[in-house]
Amino acid sequence: MSAPALAQHLKVMTGAGMTASVRQVAAAFQKQTGTKVVVVSDTTGGVQKRLEGGEKADLVLATSAAMETLVREKLVAPERTDIAKVMAGLAVKKGAVEPDISTTPAVRQTLLTAKSVAYVDPAAGGIAGPYFLGLLRQMGITDQVNAKAVLRKTGGDVAAAVAVGEAEIGVTLASELLPNPGVMLVGALPSDIQMDTVYTAALGSSAANPAAAEKFLAELRGPGGQIAIRESGLVFVAQ
């Protein structure tokens, strides 16, 4: 596909967890092809609502569960491609002492000991909030943590709260914590309590530029895209 043939606008709508890697690939793609890439980022629930409300996109990236709904509603093409698995992580303000999160009991103790804990409001429409609330219930510490919780709308807002000292620790998607230079990602949570969420991609059912969307998807799964995905705290899903 030659650059002139792709030199149109391309609209990519993505769940917040993949925003950093999508923007990185978009910058390289735009430079390479001349196609202006517009990246629209929202919570997974926000992506669904936008499409259900009539907003169009050439390429959509959302969680597998959300994508199944969008396929049933015929808002995206039925052909889907798995891209990356998200990882929940814990962060502290840059320069702070790193807490122990090496085991599930250690994470539990860290959450109990922290003076304040920021996480995404489960009602905000994302995936990190409900996951973390479920984790608190699993650990039996819901009331203790929620008594000192700092709820935010997005993972980026969680990172910001930690960066400015509004919360001692923050738990959300690692890919939303890493871009903030004011926080330090301590690491991903242990595998036995880790998220099991995969982001998948599909063309919008009314894609205005399907050729460029297919090309962009190939770049996202290519060597450069794989690097961007891993650098943003996600795990690349091989086909």
Task: Provide, for the chain, the percentages of residues in helix, strand and coil under a 3-state DSSP scheme, each rounded to the nearest 5.
Answer: 45, 25, 30
Asked whether residue 2 carries a pLDDT value surpassing 90, the answer given is no
Residues 101 and 183 in one domain: yes
Give the end-to-end CA distance of the chain in Å, rounded to a whole number. Answer: 23
Asked whether residue 239 carries a pLDDT value surpassing 80, the answer given is no
Backbone angles phi, psi at 136, to 5 degrees: -60, -40
Average pLDDT, the chain: 95
Kindly give, in sequence order, each residue whose CB lies less than 8 Å from that of residue 95, ignoring residues fewer than 6 positions away.
Answer: 184
Q: What is the dihedral of CA 206, 80, 29, 180, to 10 degrees?
A: 110
In this predicted structure, what is the pLDDT of residue 7? 54
Residues 95 and 137 in one domain: yes
In this predicted structure, what is the pLDDT of residue 1? 44
Residues 30 and 108 in one domain: no
Task: Give the pLDDT confidence of 100-159 residue by residue, as tens digits.
Answer: 999 999 999 999 999 999 999 999 988 999 999 999 999 999 999 999 999 999 999 999
Residues 160 and 106 in one domain: yes
State the total domains in the chain.
Answer: 2
Residues 81 and 112 in one domain: no
Residues 93 and 186 in one domain: yes
Residues 188 and 95 in one domain: yes
Residues 96 and 175 in one domain: yes
Residues 77 and 95 in one domain: no
Residues 165 and 226 in one domain: no
Residues 75 and 104 in one domain: no
Distance CA 35, CA 38 (A): 10
Residues 71 and 92 in one domain: no
For residues 205-230, average pLDDT: 96
Question: What range defines the domain where residue 224 resides?
Answer: 3-85+197-236
Task: Give the pLDDT confidence of 196-216 residue by residue, as tens digits.
Answer: 899 999 999 999 999 999 999
Task: Give the pLDDT confidence of 42-88 residue by residue, as tens digits.
Answer: 999 999 999 999 999 999 999 999 999 999 999 999 999 999 999 99
CATH assignment of the domain containing 153: 3.40.190.10
Complete edge-to-edge strand list for the sheet that includes strand 183-188: 149-152, 117-120, 169-173, 88-93, 183-188
